[in-house]
Amino acid sequence: MAEDLKVTQGSKAEQYQDIIPQILGIISDEPDLIANLANITAALKEQFNWFWVGFYLVKDNELVLAPFQGPIACTRIAKGRGVCGDAWEKSEVLIVADVDAYPGHIACSSQSKSEIVLPILRNGVCMGVLDIDSSELNTFDEVDAQYLQKIIDAIQF
């Protein structure tokens, strides 16, 4: 592998439609989880240039920082803490338009303004989360949730 990513312009949906097949192609032949999570974050960061894109994985009943792109971040998050811990506890996608208005939000950076967190569920068990932060308010919506879920579903544990 190791070809350049084709970064495209267009509506958000069009960008996802261009980038997702490339991501699925990159991860489909590689069995190593960390390698695949690393490339997913790199591809999403390159396409969308969000402030922070990364994974946390459940280890010993905590979320532990895993591959990411962006500034350094909090390393451990307890269940029910912050947006990530809430998404884990509830097994729900959480979309936060304004992180400052979210009770208990964990501010790894003051530059983060809005956020989406998707739990990675396998047989009803949360293996980790995909967390994306934007430096703009109100960046994420159901379109993001719908397309990012396709990436989550393709990750082999």
Question: From the CB of 96, what's the least distance to ligand SME, in Å?
Answer: 8
C-alpha–C-alpha distance, residues 12 and 112, integer Å: 20
Residue that is written with structure tokens 């990364």 in the block: 54
Interaction mask 27-66, ligand SME, x per CB under 6 A: -------------------------x--------------
* Cβ closest to ligand SME, residue 22 vs residue 118: 118
DSSP letter for each residue of 65-101: EEEEESS---SEEETTSHHHHHHHHHT--EEES-GGG
In the chain, how many H helices and how many E strands? Answer: 4, 6
Stretch that binds ligand SME, among 39-47, 77-85, 120-128, 143-151 (CB under 6 A): 77-85
Q: Applying CB under 6 A, does 78 fall inside the site for ligand SME?
A: no
Stretch near ligand SME under the rule CB under 6 A, chosen from 5-13, 16-24, 32-40, 82-90 = 82-90
Q: By CB under 6 A, tell whether 83 contacts ligand SME.
A: yes
Sheet holding 62-69, edge to edge: 76-78, 62-69, 52-59, 125-134, 114-122, 94-96
Q: Give, for 109, the enclosing helix (H) or strand (E).
A: none
Give the residue with the Cβ less far from ligand SME, 16 or 51: 51
Total residues found in the chain within this entry: 157
Please report whether residue 97 would count as binding ligand SME according to CB under 6 A.
Answer: no
CB 27 within 8 A of CB 155: yes
Residue range at the interface with ligand SME (CB under 6 A); choices 14-22, 33-41, 73-81, 149-157: 73-81
Residue nearest to ligand SME (CB): 82
Judged by CB under 6 A, does residue 105 bind ligand SME? yes
